[in-house]
Amino acid sequence: MLPPLSADDRTTAPTGRLRAAWRAAHEPAPGVSRRLRLTAYAVPLTVLPSSLWRIPSAFDDGIGFGERLYVPSLSIVSELFAFTAIGLVARWGEVFPRWVPYLGGRRVPRWAAVVPAAVGATVLTLVFTVLSIVTEIRGTTIRGDELPADFPGEAGGWEAAWYSVCYAPLVLWGPLMVVLTVAYHRRRRATDRPAATG
């Protein structure tokens, strides 16, 4: 029979597992510069303010259960998508983790990462960079409709300023993903080439 855990063991065991998971998720791939790692880590931070800004609206009066569920879900999904940027600089973006069934330990096909990242970067750039700037200048929604009177950016005062501060970083999401995707493609193209035989 195993001896009972001491108080020190009980407090460090979960922390040690969490720390190991954190390291595994952030272990950089060979050849990734510090600048690229910081760029990847910035992506979830560009999404975080808008994700947090949305959460209180889930508790507003007069909204249904579906919307109460949708708002936090949108924030969580946004952050999960933003976290995939780290895969473009981390080891798990080049070699599947051991725990992945059937694929664990195998090399991630370059195009399996590059194509979704490029499509995502393009869509994010169009929606959050190009369209949001155009609609802000025109004072319309993305569909071209006039902004409703209760639109947060039209409220004036601190509410409009807070909305702008929280949503402005989203303008960077797409362009940062473009930089990371191009760097990932170049790095993998160089490492995937067969060694020259002579």
Instruction: Please write the tens of the pLDDT for every residue from 124-175.
Output: 999 999 988 888 777 777 777 787 766 776 666 777 788 889 989 999 999 9
Identify the bridge partners of residue 95 per DSSP, sorted by sequence position: 107
CA distance 10 to 12: 6
Indicate if the pLDDT at residue 112 is higher than 80. yes
Residue 81 CA from chain centroid, whole number: 4
Residue 90, number of CB atoms within 10 A of its CB: 19
In terms of residues, how long is the chain? Answer: 198
In the prediction, which pLDDT does 153 show?
Answer: 65
Q: What is the mean pLDDT of residues 65-80?
A: 90
Indicate if the pLDDT at residue 179 is higher than 60. yes
Indicate if the pLDDT at residue 187 is higher than 90. yes
In the prediction, which pLDDT does 47 show?
Answer: 96
| Residue among 162, 171, 174 nearest 52 (CA) | 162
pTM of the model: 0.79
Contact 110, 69 (CB under 8 A): no
Q: What is the mean pLDDT of residues 179-190?
A: 95
CA distance 59 to 71: 10
Residue 95 CA from chain centroid, whole number: 19
In the prediction, which pLDDT does 121 show?
Answer: 97
Residue 109, number of CB atoms within 10 A of its CB: 11
Q: Is pLDDT larger for residue 27 or for residue 39? A: 39
Place of tokens 């609206």: 57
